[in-house]
């Protein structure tokens, strides 16, 4: 390194270092980054395109900053550069191609602070025409041709296509703008070769136009295959065929070749010289036999093909059954027959028929006819026809013997109510399909066909008149037999809904004395059995429940009491409906003997009251008599003693009478004791007060 270069590097280092020092001392803000495509976003191929990255950055000192710009295409980095100026960053796309099409962005990074511009789309249109080169214009049949296809000036990911008279013969993928391939041409025709290409971008694929045409002449090989089949006239099944495959116009033994003989897709033989093959002619259904002889020389393949028709000696036999349906143990006829035969080669009597399996089969006396007894389960039969050593088998005939109907049952699913529809079910064992017929009183009602297992025949019917009806079912599962199965007769009793309910009471008077017997009789119109329930109003528990075949029932209450006074009603049901009577109000009164007892008791009580009143009146009269007696008493004074100054003579006047009367009244019944006017002093009343007028009471003063 020379001195000038060292000096430049030193100065640049000093500059970058000083710029870094300056950057660390100032603040900045990236305001915006904008990407501008010049001259425009849509250009043609070959245009020089400029991607201009313009950034607006605010700084605290106004001095330059170290900036790192990055160009991105479809989110992938295309180019990165660091600059120290504030000028726009420019990225050049010289001679833009279709591969340059995409979304571009510009990213600015200053000291770790980044900002990304909005994406701008560049569209470059127009691919250059491809150019085709061949290594030769004249080749022998089977020789290789080398071709080169070039996309001038293009870049990117390519797919090249090579064509022979507009038929694609090769496809090559490349990352460069040219591709090579080799191929072989056959036939003596003139071949026009051209190529084209496609460029793949991240978003789309762009095709080019066709290249120039290059003409190639092919010299055909003179060698040809030869195919011979004997006999060459009408061929019958079983004839022996002789087939040969060889090559003609082989001029030099140095020309190696190989032969292939095939029948359809089956390869019969191969060889390096003439091939001979012998076989028996076997016809192919509705098709001719196709044979192919091929010769391969130096990757050139030529072939000869022939088709022959083989007349069928006799057709494949068919095995049929009569009758078409058979039941277990039934004798049936199996017939094996070939419909067609070649009368020029065989007679119908030449055909021999065999049935498999063929154990213990009774002879019918006719060729191909066999009498067989149907087994208890499914079984298979096949047959064969044979003539002139050719044997053909029929298809397998599967026989499924049917089972006659049995165990036919009839039942009713619902209750049979007058004038309402109900369901009748018929079911039996046996092979399907089964035809069921329903009869009512020996008159046909309807038919049903059951085709699924475990299914019942369902019939609907309505009975409009009361009484008993007879139903039965018939079942049949044979088209060629009148054998049927019949069920037992089913007797049906119609339930007539209940109506016109009445409730009677015995005795008829609803006012009943205690101790009597009370009967409720409930009756309805309809058919039994009928369930009767008796209730007192306000209770959900029945007093009595009774089921009877009659249309009436009764409730007995005996003896009745006052507690039996209430409202009563009854309900009746018979499976068709339920009816209720009106309420009956029953009142229970007191018994007559209880009433008489009460009257007697009242009379006795009244008598007692009278006696008490009389006694009271007598007592009052007695008291009055005593008072009157006391009033008549006169007090007779005794002769005063000279030595008793305090003695006072009581005279018979009004005051004396009143005092005596009060005293007698007060002490009457008190053991004749009366008070004498002082405390604790008493005087005995006289024992005999009959002569109260002469009685005198001494008084102490």
**Residue 687: DSSP 8-state:** S
Higher pLDDT, 298 or 4: 298
pLDDT digits (tens, 9 = 90+) for 190-213: 899 999 999 998 778 899 999 999
Beta pairing class for 120-125 and 42-44:
parallel
Q: Is the dihedral of CA 671, 673, 674, 675 positive or negative?
A: negative
Fold match, 131-219 / 499-589: yes
> Could you say which architecture CATH assigns to the domain 318-399?
Sandwich (2.60)
559-603 pLDDT per residue, tens: 888 888 899 999 999 988 999 999 998 888 876 667 778 778 888
> Residue 361 has which token pair?
């089969």
Distances (CA, A) of 493 to 27, 44, 227, 527, 550: 112, 103, 93, 9, 15
Among 112-121, 222-231, 275-284, 639-648, whose mean pLDDT is lowest?
A: 639-648
Nearest to 364 by CA among 319, 322, 333: 333
User: Where is pLDDT greater, at 612 or 635?
Assistant: 612
- pLDDT (tens digit per residue) in 617-650: 888 888 888 888 878 765 444 444 444 443 333 3
The domain made up of 499-589 has a fold known as: Immunoglobulin-like (2.60.40)
Cis before 658? omega within 30: no
| Per-residue confidence (pLDDT) for residue 497, from 0 to 100 | 92
Give me the residue spans of the domains in the chain. Answer: 28-125, 131-219, 224-308, 318-399, 406-494, 499-589
Please check whether residue 486 is in contact with residue 408, taking contact to mean a CB–CB distance below 8 angstroms: yes
For strand 102-110 and strand 120-125, is the pairing parallel, antiparallel, or unpaired? antiparallel
pLDDT of 187 above 60? yes
Pick the CATH number of 28-125 from 1.10.10.10, 3.90.1170.50, 3.30.413.10, 2.60.40.10: 2.60.40.10
Specify the CATH number for 131-219; select among 2.60.40.10, 3.90.1170.50, 3.40.50.1100, 3.20.20.100. 2.60.40.10
Residue 19's alpha-carbon distances to 6, 15, 66, 168, 626, in angstroms, are 20, 6, 7, 63, 164
| Rounded-to-integer distance, Cα 412 and Cα 73, Å | 87
DSSP string covering 412-450: E-S--BTTSEEEEEEEEESSSPEEEEEEETTEEEEEEEE
The phi and psi torsions of 12 (rounded to 5 degrees) equal -65, -40
DSSP for 497-566, please give it.
PPEEEEEEEESSSSEEETT--EEEEEEEES-S-EEEEEEETT-SS-SEEEEESSSEEEEEE-S--GGG-E
User: Residue 166's CB: how many other CB atoms inside 10 A?
Assistant: 8
| pLDDT of the residue at 223 | 84
pLDDT at 77: 93
Which helix or strand (DSSP H or E) is residue 58 part of?
Answer: strand 49-59
Q: Of 381, 402, 405, 406, nearest to 393 (Cα)?
A: 381
State mean pLDDT over 462-481.
86
Kindly report the average pLDDT of the chain as a whole number: 82
The CA–CA distances, whole Å, from 64 to 14, 116, 168, 277 equal 15, 20, 61, 96
Residue 130's alpha-carbon distances to 5, 40, 501, in angstroms, are: 47, 27, 112
What are the residues facing 634 on neighbouring strands?
Answer: none
Higher pLDDT pick, 502 / 595:
502
pTM exceeds 0.75, yes or no: no
DSSP codes of every residue in 619-686:
HHHHHHHHHHHHHH----PPPPPTT-TT--PPPSSHHHHHHHHHHHHHHTTTTTEEE-SSTT-EEEPP
Instruction: Quote the strand ranges of 60-189, DSSP E.
Output: 67-73, 76-83, 89-93, 102-110, 113-116, 120-125, 131-134, 138-140, 144-150, 157-164, 167-174, 178-184
Question: For position 5, what pLDDT does the model report?
Answer: 53
User: Tokens at residue 340, please?
Assistant: 């067609």
The tokens 């067989």 sit on which residue?
372
Which residue in this structure is represented by tokens 């040219």?
178
Mean pLDDT of the 225-247 span: 91
**Cα–Cα dist 580/68, whole Å:** 106
Residue 251: pLDDT band by 50, 70, 90 thresholds?
low
Quote the pLDDT of residue 115.
92
> Looking at residue 159, what is its pLDDT?
95
Q: The domain 406-494 belongs to what CATH superfamily? A: Immunoglobulins (2.60.40.10)
* pLDDT confidence of residue 386: 93
Q: What pLDDT is recorded for position 676?
A: 34
Is the pLDDT score of 4 beyond 90?
A: no
Burial of 679 (0-12, 13-18, 19+ CB in 10 A): exposed
pLDDT, residue 362, reads: 61
Under the banding of pLDDT at 50, 70 and 90, the label for residue 697 is very low
Q: Which CATH architecture has domain 224-308?
A: Sandwich (2.60)
CB 343 within 8 A of CB 367: no
544 cis-preceded (ω within 30 degrees of 0): no
Helix and strand numbers, DSSP H then E, in the chain = 3, 53
What is the structure's pLDDT at 366?
85
Torsion of CA 541, 547, 552, 556, to 10 degrees: -50
**C-alpha–C-alpha distance, residues 434 and 407, integer Å:** 13
């Amino acid at each position: 390194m020379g001195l000038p270069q060292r000096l430049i590097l030193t100065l640049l280092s000093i500059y970058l270092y000083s710029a870094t020092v300056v950057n660390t001392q100032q603040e900045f803000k990236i305001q915006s980054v904008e990407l501008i495509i010049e001259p425009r976003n849509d250009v043609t191929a070959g245009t020089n395109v400029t991607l201009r990255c313009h950034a607006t950055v605010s700084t605290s000192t106004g001095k330059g900053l170290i900036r790192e710009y990055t160009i991105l295409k479809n989110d992938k980095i295309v180019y990165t550069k660091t600059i120290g100026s504030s000028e726009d960053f420019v990225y050049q796309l010289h001679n833009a191609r279709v591969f340059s099409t995409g979304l571009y962005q510009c990213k600015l990074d200053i000291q770790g602070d980044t900002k990304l511009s909005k994406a701008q789309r560049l569209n470059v249109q127009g691919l250059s025409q491809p150019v085709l080169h061949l290594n030769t214009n004249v080749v022998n049949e089977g020789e290789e041709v080398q071709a080169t296809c070039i996309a001038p000036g293009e870049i990117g990911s390519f797919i090249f296509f090579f064509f022979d008279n507009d038929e694609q013969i090769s496809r090559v993928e490349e990352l460069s703008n040219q591709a090579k391939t080799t191929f072989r041409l056959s036939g003596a025709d003139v071949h026009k070769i051209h190529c084209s290409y496609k460029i793949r971008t991240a978003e789309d694929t762009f095709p080019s136009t066709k290249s120039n045409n290059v003409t190639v002449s092919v010299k055909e090989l003179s060698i040809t295959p030869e195919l011979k089949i004997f006999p060459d006239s009408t061929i019958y099944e079983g004839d022996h065929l002789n087939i040969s495959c060889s090559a003609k116009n082989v001029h030099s033994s140095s020309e190696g070749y190989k032969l292939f003989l095939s029948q359809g897709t089956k390869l019969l033989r191969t060889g390096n010289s003439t091939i001979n093959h012998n076989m028996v002619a076997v016809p192919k259904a509705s098709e001719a036999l196709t044979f192919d002889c091929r010769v391969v020389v130096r990757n050139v393949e030529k072939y000869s093909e022939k088709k022959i028709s083989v007349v069928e000696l006799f057709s494949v036999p068919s095995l049929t059954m009569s009758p078409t349906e058979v039941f277990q143990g039934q004798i049936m006829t199996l017939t094996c027959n070939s419909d067609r035969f070649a009368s020029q080669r065989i007679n119908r009597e030449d055909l021999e028929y065999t049935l498999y399996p063929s154990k213990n089969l009774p002879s019918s006396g006719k060729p191909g006819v066999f009498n067989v007894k149907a087994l208890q389960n499914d079984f298979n039969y096949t047959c064969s026809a044979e003539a002139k050593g050719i044997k053909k088998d029929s298809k397998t005939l599967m026989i499924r013997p049917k089972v006659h109907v049995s165990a036919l049952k009839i039942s009713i699913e619902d209750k049979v109510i007058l004038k309402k529809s109900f369901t009748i079910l018929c079911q039996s064992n046996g092979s399907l399909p089964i035809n069921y017929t329903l009869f009512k009183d020996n008159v046909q009602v309807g038919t049903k066909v059951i085709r699924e297992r475990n299914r019942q025949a369902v019939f609907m019917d309505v009975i409009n008149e009361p009484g008993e009806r007879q139903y039965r079912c018939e079942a049949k599962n044979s088209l060629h037999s009148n054998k049927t199965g019949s069920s037992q007769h089913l007797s049906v009793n119609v339930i007539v809904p209940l109506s016109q309910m009445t409730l009677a009471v015995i005795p008829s008077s609803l006012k009943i004395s205690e101790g009597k017997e009370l009967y409720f009789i409930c009756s309805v119109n309809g058919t039994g059995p009928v369930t009767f329930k008796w209730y007192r109003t306000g209770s959900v528990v029945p007093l009595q429940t009774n089921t009877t075949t009659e249309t009436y029932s009764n409730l007995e209450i005996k003896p009745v009491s006052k507690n039996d006074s209430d409202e009563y009603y009854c309900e009746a049901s018979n499976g068709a409906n339920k009816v209720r009577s009106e309420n009956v109000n029953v009142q229970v009164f007191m018994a007559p003997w209880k009433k008489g007892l009460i009257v007697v008791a009242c009379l006795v009580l009244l008598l007692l009251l009278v006696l008490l009143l009389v006694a009271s009146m007598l007592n009052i009269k007695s008291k009055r008599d005593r008072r009157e007696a006391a009033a008549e008493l006169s007090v007779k004074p005794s002769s005063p003693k000279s030595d008793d100054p305090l003695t006072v003579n009581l005279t018979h006047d009004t005051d004396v009478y009143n005092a005596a009367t009060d005293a007698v009244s007060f002490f009457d019944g008190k053991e004749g004791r009366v008070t004498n006017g002082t405390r604790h002093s008493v005087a005995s009343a006289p024992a005999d007060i009959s002569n109260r007028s002469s009685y005198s009471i001494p008084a102490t003063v």
